[in-house]
Structure 1
Amino acid sequence: MKTFTTAFSAALIAGAAQADPTLGITKSMPQVTVQTESGPQVIDRVQDPSNEITGQWARTSRQCPEFCIQAMSPAPGVSTIGELELLEMLQDPGSVVVDSRTPDWFQGGTIPGAINFASGPRCRSIDFERTSELPSVVVLSAWPNAILMSEV
């Protein structure tokens, strides 16, 4: 049986590894290294405690529809996970991350190791039953942020 899980995640930043990061992901997890086809990618936090988000992601009000508030669970049978569960899943080399946002959004930044399969009719017609041989599949889209499908 497959379960669809929403991965509620803030922007994950892949940056250069720090020798001894003081601003870790958790108390015992300073950073996460994800093995990708192009080599290891580090997910960590910006090490400047005065850093602030600027640009389009700093806006607090956007036009709705398109940028509307959404439910944590977008459909029956969808469970919510957090950033730590997603980071743990990324450590599984058998996992597949599919980013269904448009190529320009994908190029602007995605979760390390993701492949781009832009949304549209092709993405909506994915046969999820054919992914049964994979330990887990994450499908990222602009809204909702991510859907994780895994064996239970």
Structure 2
Amino acid sequence: MKLRELHSSNKTKLRESHSSNKIKLRESHISSKIKLRESHSSNKIKLRESHSSNKIKLRESHSSNKIKLRESHISSKIKLRESHSSNKIKLRESHSSNKIKLRESHISNKNKLRESHSSNKIKLRELHSSNKTKLRESHSSNKIKQRIPQ
């Protein structure tokens, strides 16, 4: 009998231990599920916060870049206007200088032309006078030759 009692006692202990282990396993499983849900919820919250923070940073960066781009564009426009104004001034100065040089050259050419014209008139008078003299001499010589009988 002792063996039966011992066997029965061991079976009872085994059942109790098995029941206790099943209960502990369920409790552990439930606790793990709760911890997993809490961790999942916490991670979702952290992800949302990180996403919101990143969106805010992206907007700020985008706004900052737009401002920098506008400033750069304005600066480039100002430099372009200054360069354009400077080039217009240089062009006017060059144009004025060229007009002055052209006037001086024109005046110089007119003076040279007058001098050349005057010189040519004098030469022409002298040539004309010389030709008249030669013509008179030739005419006189011809008259004399006509008077002399041949």
- Structure having the larger proportion of residues in helix: 2
The structure with the greater share of residues assigned to strand is: 1
Larger radius of gyration: 2
Report 1 or 2 for greater relative contact order, CA contacts < 8 Å, sequence distance ≥ 6: 1
TM-score bin (small chain): under 0.3
